[in-house]
Structure 1
Amino acid sequence: MYLTSGFVLSAQANDTAHGLQYEIWLTTENGPIKTVSDSETALFFIKSEDTNIVNNVLNAESVNFYIKPLALKNFQQQKMSACYFKSLRQFYSASKALKNSGITLFEDDIRPIDRYLMERFIKGGAWVTGNHFEYESYSVILNAKLKANSDYSPSLSKLSLDIECNESGVLFSIGLVGCGLDCIIMIGEPQSFEPSAGYTIIWCEDEVALLRLFVELITEHDPDIIIGWNVIEFDFSVLYERAEALGLKLAIGRGKLPLYVRKGHFTRVFIPGRCVIDGIDTLKNATYSFESFSLANVSKQILGESKLIESNNSLQEIIRQFNEDKLSLAAYNRQDCILVNKIFEKLKLLDFAVIRTQLTGLELEKKGGSVAAFINMYLPLLHRSGYVAPNMGDHGLTFESPGGYVMESLPGLYKNVIVLDFKSLYPSIMQTFYIDPLGLIEGLANPSNSVEGYNFAKFSRENHHLPKLIKSLALQRQLAKDHNDPMLSQAIKIIMNSLYGVLGSKGCRFYDPRLSSSITLRGHEIMLQTKKWIEECGYSVIYGDTDSTFIKLDDELTHDECNEIGKFLADKINTAWVSEIKQTHNLTSHLEIEFESLYSPFFLPTIRGKSVGSKKRYVGQLIKHNETKLVFKGLETVRSDWTKLAQQFQFDLFTLLFKQPSKIDILVKEYISNLIRGEFDHLLVFKKRLGQNLSDYRKNIPPHVQAVKKFQKKNSEFTLNRGEFVTFVYTTNGVELYQGLHNYDYQIYLEKQIIPLFDMVSSFCNLNVNSISSGQFNLI
């Protein structure tokens, strides 16, 4: 028997003449391999007491199946049986028929191919054995048997793809960069082209020729991974639709198998033997945040490079170039491919995708997926503990669990403030107090050997999985830090931090408010007790948020003295929690508070128009390694719905407040004077996203929508869709879409962008605004 190992690129279940077949493509050190497992079965679970009814329903539907009693229970402690099927068609037909008959099914929404990999704990890397056959560009293993190989790390070849087309999806060109390719396939008559440009243009007479050449090049250069920007929702969707319209099959899969695109709540692209990874989705998976995820914005932010067309109406310019200047369009098309490649390389996005798969078992291209990752990691363990997963909502509980602890702040300007942060507070609570779906059911069944939770929850001291999983992830993360592997550390952090969110999500089959409230309310208890202990040491807690405690220290202390107090308090709190949890619960504490930050100075504002402190808003000068940096939280410098004028003014305002408050009056006068003279006109643009479609705005129409509707009266063809950004300004003629040159209403900008920020700090620098107008500014 042949034995090798590789990394999963694609996996699919198919109905064949031999029954249900699992086809899994791997990339290996010896080239791509297709593994084929025939005569497989798909299954879901039913309550054993429903067996007779299920038999009657499925026999009436002429479904081929068999039922087997199992040593498994559901969370209601009822015995379970499995229904097995030898084809996907029978599996889905049976699921539909039984649901229509009112039968409760368990785990019928898990795709059979996902279950196959999940139950074998295959997370990318796999050993495979079977009957081996060599073909020209790949191998096949029949009668394949797979098992996990957690040590396998793939070397993946990648190709960047980008298309250009008109508004109807009619293709102009396809750019391909990577895997030995650097070319543009372009429709049109051949034109002379300077070879020194470093790439080639391949001319085609029409779309059919273009698509056929595209298939040839993909087959010849044989990438493992195809990357792009919105490549799934746009590029491959357009390619697939154009091929369908032209009667072509895009056989770009390995083994000359065709591309398949399925649209629903999201678009899924399947290419046998290859994987498609979208840059936007991967950035979001890695928790990157941008004001806009457009390629133009991200490449400018990350690379400092721009697209070759930066027009507000790029489509119009693309069409013009295709008709009048095809060489410029080719350069633009290629530049997009190159920018995507550079972003992937600089941020190591492909490495991140591989690591995420190795940790969770999610497909490389999976969008989002925190719930799916949890299921992948948890469900096989649950089965081995004798349970099947519950259906969503079957706990019968409807109350909502509270959010994290947030203390009302004590507003003011402080000289020295230290911050103590609990390290991974929610995961450490779950680990310490055994908070776990299985633990909840076992704890309720055996309350004498359980840990008390909240809302009548009890958690087994012996039967649980999440505490062990969290411990394993924490150890892996520490090793990643020790080996200076920030990508692995970040991937593990994302997974650990998602565990609470998953248990608190109604989109997860394990949702139960007793689980989430036992985490958050325990967090409230921990934060309040920590505050009490700190105050007993003689220090004042001025703010607290979820896992962070802000402590005021005496003004005369040096930075070194502040740091020493921070370390002392962290040690004291950690020791206290070890003792408290042992004495109260007879448990081992996994809570760890760290001295994280020293701010000097530090500012907590009031709620606008009130005297009480606001929440989740502050600014401080962070002191770290003898360097200083202004940190803003929840204020205008970090909010995209304020203008750049407000962001710049706020930064300058706090710089002076912390260093030279006596000069704030000069700063404000200069800003107002420069504003009125028009020197800040380039900073006056507001940017706000459409929360719904334009037609849905009927009452209380906000300014950004007013601007769009006003523009549409003179430009009837112009439109924007839900989720797109609107750039607008306030002018003497009212609110308008930003067009470059306007007669700005400076009074509105004074009232909306300058005065609120100055008011926030005026009482702390002995200044008051008496009157501000376009012609007068007095400070008293």
Structure 2
Amino acid sequence: MSLTTGQAFLLTRHQKDLRRSGKQPTSNGIAPEENNDPGAPSKPVKPQAPFKPKAQFKPKAQFKPKADSELVYWGWTEHGPARFVIHHETPLLFVEQKHALQVEQILNTLAIRYQSQPLDHQTFHHQPVTIFYFYTLDELYRAQQAIKHRDIETFEHDLRLQDKYLIERSIRGGVEFIGTAHPQPGYTEYRDVRLKPAKLHPKFRILSLDIECSMEGDLYSVGLYGHNLSTPEPGMVDKTVIMIGEPMAEIQSEEATLDLNMVWVKDEYQLLLALEHHVQRHDPDVIIGWNVINFDFKLLIERAKKQDISLRLGRGLTLAHWRDSRTEANQGFITLPGRVVIDGIDALRTATYFFESFSLENVAQELLQRGKKTDHVDQRAEQITYDFHHNKLKLAQYNLEDCKLVWDIFEHTQIMDFMILRSQLTGLELDKVGGSVAAFTNLYLPKLHRAGYIAPNLPPDGGLASPGGYVMNSKPGFYKNVLVLDFKSLYPSIIRTFKIDPMGLIEGLKDPDSAIPGFKGAWFSRDKHFLPDIITELWQQRDQAKRDKDAPRSQAIKIIMNSFYGVLGSGGCRFYDTRLASSITMRGHQIMQQTAAWIEEHSFFDRPCEVIYGDTDSTFVLLDEAFTNEQCQQIGNRLANIINQAWTDKLAHDHQLESHLEIEFETHFQRFLMPTIRGSEAGSKKRYAGLTYLNGKPEMVFKGLETVRTDWTELAREFQHTLYKIIFDDIDPTSYIQTTVAATLNGELNHKLIYRKRLRRPLREYVKNIPPHVRAAKIADEKNKALGKPLQYQNKGWINYVMTLVGPEPIDYLTSEPDYQLYIEKQLKPIADAILPFIGMDFDSLVDNQMSLF
């Protein structure tokens, strides 16, 4: 067959050990076989000055055996799904050359086939290494265990073969391929494949999936909403609900008026088969949903097992595979070969979205201003069962609307674009949750290999904690005219400026006389490094994304850049070194302290500046209260220019470095409160409130105060916001405080007294310490059980409750009077006490007479 070329975006990856019998081992392993891997990199070359490593990592071809392995990558192409098969990619590991002979003896004793070769590469301890190749993955794993048992350290053995293949070729998402095409039903398989990086933006076929079931897990229906296979144009969607039941005459008549396709099946067994058929016919690249992995797919796999069905939901009728998490209970992973499953909750969290609750109802209401098709969201389990038995078409509409809500959230947030861009920038799989360490490894490892180094292993002790961000002692007070100056991406800027880099540290320690000083004994090479250049490239891409108003790309790059400090300070990263992370944070401390000192050296209009607080990368500057808004704006911009020039001059003089530090004037607070620590006269940290103007409109900003707490009542939130606004506007708050207290005591605000809190563990696990929200949940489910209703709170969840005179009670079974005194003492008083002393008032004095009347 002739060779075919094209471009693809990789979806899933897999490695397989073919375990074919090879030649019998000799006393020195196996005779060398010719390397037929057309994508194999060339022999490593030591870097020469100037530092421009070019050669890719790999020894001479004749030393690399033909392994019995198979790598499979599924991808999207413009012409349909593709399966790429790569044979004979060789498993390997490294050991220091001084241990090579001992390792060979171990392998020969165990009759493990291998081939070895000394390299020019070295470890981070400057020890030369030997590479060991193996014929199967199984032999690699056996070898690793045996070598580890002899207390000999191996390197890079933990990298998956399918990942290593892509990493070494700097492949991130998009590929250009060449191979022989073998058409298969529904896809094209390419063999003898060669891949190299390419840039493309795929147009995925997406399917939103949601299931409805009983409290016991019996399936009722499956909703499916997504691009139609035959008409994948925008706006053309397939709306299907597979429902267990019989379509009676009256149902069929009503069904004809609905904008959906009903598929009726007689039982759960047939429902699973219908789902399998629809997915294969629909053929999505990506399946989305809400908690779709750990609920929908987990339950589908469990029910299929109970029905003795092996669900073929992958491409080419491949089986769906579930794997439990080894670290988190009730969590796991779903694998559908050729398809990616993306959970909306995980995707939004990865993009740094934050919501008080990540329930579909709450997120949809916040983003879309609409929610589920039910009047009783918190009792929907009972309603679903009722509708299944009495109104299946209503259940179908509810089921499909959940699918559409997820679909619309994905479109509204452009989260799919974000996930694609993240994959293109870092090489992470589309469905990867978190992945900062993996992203860093993907970007850094090929450069490291070309420079003649092997990556270190994870720290055995999990790593030592590094100093956190700088937080100065605040000067509490109620102020007018406070400026906030922020360093733009401070930690990435420090990495760029001071050349902080894993390999740069190793090279700098070799020649400290010409290196850049760090902290805790660190020295960094001025010219042998990679991370500063990686960040510079990302920085430039982000600036371009901002100019193009490409929000998903800008956000993806920002998250990646800001993750690098955390990666270097994480014991879960192979490049962890406390000298790296400390050289970032401690340099940040130094920069913030020096910046504050410079600011306080300046005065404007004959009035001095005073720094009242500093936090990580922000500096709060107090100006004279007589300044106008225009004068404050001028001073803010002038201060930013002065500080930037000062750092440019200082770094050039002290270290002969170009400064990439950039401070910006961000906010002018007309009124600003820096409270004290409760029960103390000392200033608080990471807690403040301010009034600023955006586009001419006033905006209240609260940081670390009660209004941002997720379990605070509506009463507290509204009271704080209004009270602070009144005081910031120089209005006497006495009347408002007394009116609010009176209304609370009179029961006029009962609807604002509800607490909402999450049960983070199954209810049965709360034994010794039973907080109020757990007591309320226990009461609710005891009542549910007595009334024959489904139990709602046994396996985590959210509970709404009120604190009453007899303790916490769930709002569904509220029988006692609220404890108004508690709400005043625990909700209103702490809010008022944070600000009233600064204007010479006291909460108790204002309300004592009032309280005595009740």
Q: Which TM-score band (shorter chain)? A: over 0.9
Contact 2:763 2:796 (8 Å CA) reproduced: no
AA paired with 1:317? Answer: Q
Q: Is 2:124 aligned against 1:75?
A: yes
Q: Which residue of 1 aligns with 2:559?
A: 494
Which of the numbers 258, 263, 274 marks the counterpart of 1:213? Answer: 274
Q: 1:511 to 1:719 in 2, by over 3 A?
A: farther
Deviation, structure 1 residue 385 = 1.6
Distance in 1 of aligned mates of 2:452 and 2:673:
54
Q: Is 2:156 aligned against 1:107?
A: yes
Contact 1:21 1:40 (8 Å CA) reproduced: yes
Which stretch shifts more, 338-347 or 271-280? 271-280
Is the partner of 1:487 in helix, strand or coil? helix
Distance in 2 of aligned mates of 1:302 and 1:253:
32
AA paired with 1:634? Answer: G
Q: Deviations over 1:267-302 (max 9, x none)?
A: 222212211111111001100001111111111111
Which of the numbers 689, 697, 700 marks the counterpart of 1:619? Answer: 689
Distance in 2 of aligned mates of 1:162 and 1:2:
39
Distance in 1 of aligned mates of 2:202 and 2:829:
57
Contact 1:435 1:459 (8 Å CA) reproduced: yes
Distance in 2 of aligned mates of 1:59 and 1:307:
64
Distance in 2 of aligned mates of 1:207 and 1:719:
24
Q: Which residue of 2 aligns with 1:39?
A: 88
Q: 1:4 to 1:159 in 2, by over 3 A?
A: same
Which stretch shifts more, 438-447 or 346-355? 438-447
Q: Is 2:742 aligned against 1:673?
A: yes
Q: Deviations over 1:77-129 (max 9, x none)?
A: 11222222233322323333332333322222221111111111111100100
AA paired with 2:332? Answer: T
Distance in 2 of aligned mates of 1:698 and 1:182:
46
Q: Which residue of 2 aligns with 1:745?
A: 819
Q: 1:29 to 1:718 in 2, by over 3 A?
A: closer
Q: Is 2:223 aligned against 1:175?
A: yes
Contact 1:453 1:518 (8 Å CA) reproduced: yes
Residues 67-216 of structure 1 aligned to structure 2 (within 5 Å): 67-149=116-198, 151-180=199-228, 181-191=238-248, 192-193=251-252, 194-216=255-277
Distance in 2 of aligned mates of 1:397 and 1:299:
39
Q: Which residue of 2 aligns with 1:65?
A: 114
Distance in 2 of aligned mates of 1:735 and 1:251:
48
Which stretch shifts more, 616-625 or 357-366? 616-625
Is the partner of 1:414 in helix, strand or coil? strand
Contact 1:597 1:624 (8 Å CA) reproduced: no
Contact 1:598 1:624 (8 Å CA) reproduced: no
Contact 1:40 1:86 (8 Å CA) reproduced: no
Distance in 1 of aligned mates of 2:305 and 2:97:
46
Q: Deviations over 1:308-338 (max 9, x none)?
A: 2434343233223223322222111111111
Deviation, structure 1 residue 49 = 2.1
Q: Which residue of 1 aligns with 2:801?
A: 728
AA paired with 2:322? Answer: V
Which of the numbers 55, 69, 73 marks the counterpart of 1:24? Answer: 73
Residues 331-342 of structure 1 aligned to structure 2 (within 5 Å): 331-342=397-408
Distance in 2 of aligned mates of 1:246 and 1:722:
25
Deviation, structure 1 residue 136 = 4.3
Is the partner of 2:211 in helix, strand or coil? strand
Contact 2:780 2:812 (8 Å CA) reproduced: no
Distance in 2 of aligned mates of 1:104 and 1:726:
51
Q: Is 2:420 aligned against 1:354?
A: yes
Q: Which residue of 1 aligns with 2:346?
A: 281
Q: 1:400 to 1:212 in 2, by over 3 A?
A: closer
Which stretch shifts more, 544-553 or 306-315? 306-315
Distance in 2 of aligned mates of 1:431 and 1:778:
64
Is the partner of 2:88 in helix, strand or coil? strand
Deviation, structure 1 residue 231 = 1.1
Is the partner of 2:834 in helix, strand or coil? helix
Q: TM-score, normalised by structure 1?
A: 0.95
Q: TM-score, normalised by structure 2?
A: 0.87
Distance in 2 of aligned mates of 1:628 and 1:84:
66
Count of residues paired in the alignment:
776
Q: Is 2:338 aligned against 1:260?
A: no
Contact 2:185 2:316 (8 Å CA) reproduced: no
Deviation, structure 1 residue 62 = 3.3
Q: Is 2:776 aligned against 1:703?
A: no
AA paired with 2:521? Answer: F
Q: 1:476 to 1:711 in 2, by over 3 A?
A: same
Q: Deviations over 1:500-540 (max 9, x none)?
A: 11111122122211111111111110001000000000310
Q: 1:39 to 1:249 in 2, by over 3 A?
A: same
AA paired with 2:131? Answer: A
Q: Deviations over 1:43-69 (max 9, x none)?
A: 222222222332233333333322232
Contact 1:690 1:721 (8 Å CA) reproduced: no
Contact 1:477 1:492 (8 Å CA) reproduced: yes
Is the partner of 2:625 in helix, strand or coil? coil
Q: 1:93 to 1:239 in 2, by over 3 A?
A: farther
Distance in 1 of aligned mates of 2:462 and 2:791:
48
Distance in 1 of aligned mates of 2:765 and 2:283:
47
Q: 1:291 to 1:202 in 2, by over 3 A?
A: same
Q: Is 2:235 aligned against 1:235?
A: no
Contact 2:738 2:850 (8 Å CA) reproduced: no
Identical columns (%): 45
Distance in 1 of aligned mates of 2:305 and 2:109:
38
Which stretch shifts more, 668-677 or 727-736? 727-736
Is the partner of 2:431 in helix, strand or coil? coil
Deviation, structure 1 residue 777 = 4.9
Distance in 2 of aligned mates of 1:614 and 1:388:
47
Distance in 2 of aligned mates of 1:595 and 1:752:
38
Distance in 2 of aligned mates of 1:428 and 1:291:
32
Pairwise CA RMSD: 2.2
Residues 494-533 of structure 1 aligned to structure 2 (within 5 Å): 494-533=559-598
Residues 321-470 of structure 1 aligned to structure 2 (within 5 Å): 321-393=387-459, 399-470=464-535
Q: Which residue of 1 aligns with 2:33?
A: none
Contact 2:520 2:579 (8 Å CA) reproduced: yes
Distance in 2 of aligned mates of 1:279 and 1:146:
31
Q: Which residue of 2 aligns with 1:764?
A: 838
Distance in 2 of aligned mates of 1:727 and 1:386:
60
Which stretch shifts more, 414-423 or 243-252? 243-252
AA paired with 2:529? Answer: H
